[in-house]
Amino acid sequence: MRIFLISIFVSSFFGFTNCDLAENSDKVVIAGGSLTEIVYDLKEEEKLIAVDITSNFPPEAKELPSIGYVRALSTEGLLSLSPSLILGEDDMGPPLVLDQLALVGIDIRIIPEKYSIEGILSKVACVTQILGTNLDARKKLETKINKHVSDLKNLREDFALKNKTIMLILNLQGTSPVVAGHSTSGNGFINLLGAKNIMDDFEGWKPVSTESILEKNPDYILVTKRGMSSFSDEEAFSKHPSLKLTKAAKAKKIYAIDGMSMLGFGPRTIKTAVETTKKISMN
């Protein structure tokens, strides 16, 4: 059974990953906040009929009907919307739901994800091709992104982080911080900054012990704003038992950043890397 389910997922994922022009993009549902940002930046938002709960930017996207969480979609809920096209990030699922939707003829596209500048530009290109977006709109968005890329490059030359280590915290699981290992969007964001992910010796997002954190002892700590929502500010968060003895906490080098703008790898991510580098350079 396990092998069967894996085979369904593999066939679904690769069957849905193409950037060809959609036959009908009049009624689009999106599962993935970065894709929603791209669609709004391309001025194609009039095609949207629903989005998932990670689609919290721009603010007006939250006024659209919600399909729930990107990884826990419902066949019945999606069918009730009668979409002509569903665009999703690579963690859209579960796979069985995608297969059921495809069986009734709904056009589903999973947009390939790479946690890099090139990955963001490829995502923009794929969405524009699927929607048949005006070339001028695509060029305008790419120009904006490339401006941030240039700014980031200049900042990295002026303020080198290549010998610095960063730990990126998604949230707290009990008393343990859940941090970014390799092959995560968190790791990708640290790479954008030109620093080293101090927790790149494991894959994915995992809770880590106080002992492990102290052994690694990062120079800087980044945390999502949602992850520290129960704390008043970064200083209060730095007093968490798992963090207070680290170099980052002692030097007040803990920074709270909007999670979707940092980890979504949409149009805002490069700008967020620029802003984060500026914050770090001023401390």
Give all strands (DSSP E) within the chain, no chain letters: 28-31, 48-51, 85-88, 107-110, 165-173, 176-180, 196-197, 205-207, 220-224, 254-257
Whether residue 5 has pLDDT greater than 80: no
Residue 241 placed within a domain: yes
Of 104, 135, 166, the residue at which a domain comes to its end is 135
Quote the CA–CA distance of 176 and 252 in Å, as a whole number: 20
Residues 113-166 pLDDT 10s: 999 999 999 999 999 999 999 999 999 999 999 999 999 999 999 988 989 999
CATH number of 47's domain: 3.40.50.1980
Residue 51 placed within a domain: yes
If asked whether residues 166 and 274 sit together in one domain, one would say yes
If asked whether residues 122 and 174 sit together in one domain, one would say no
If asked whether residues 119 and 237 sit together in one domain, one would say no
Helix-then-strand count for the chain, H and E: 12, 10
pLDDT-derived band at 1 (thresholds 50, 70, 90) equals very low
Q: Which domain holds residue 243?
A: 158-281
pLDDT-derived band at 79 (thresholds 50, 70, 90) equals very high
Residues 22-66 pLDDT 10s: 999 999 999 999 999 999 999 999 999 999 999 999 999 999 999
Q: How far is CA 224 from the centre of its chain?
A: 12
Overall domain count for the chain = 2
pTM of the model: 0.92
Q: Are 74 and 95 in contact (CB under 8 A)?
A: no
pLDDT attached to residue 17: 83
Residue 145 placed within a domain: no
The encoded tokens of residue 241 equal: 């038992």
- Helix 33-41 × helix 135-158 angle, to 10°: 120
If asked whether residues 179 and 115 sit together in one domain, one would say no
If asked whether residues 17 and 80 sit together in one domain, one would say yes
3-class secondary structure, 56 = coil
3-class secondary structure, 197 = strand
Residue 144 placed within a domain: no
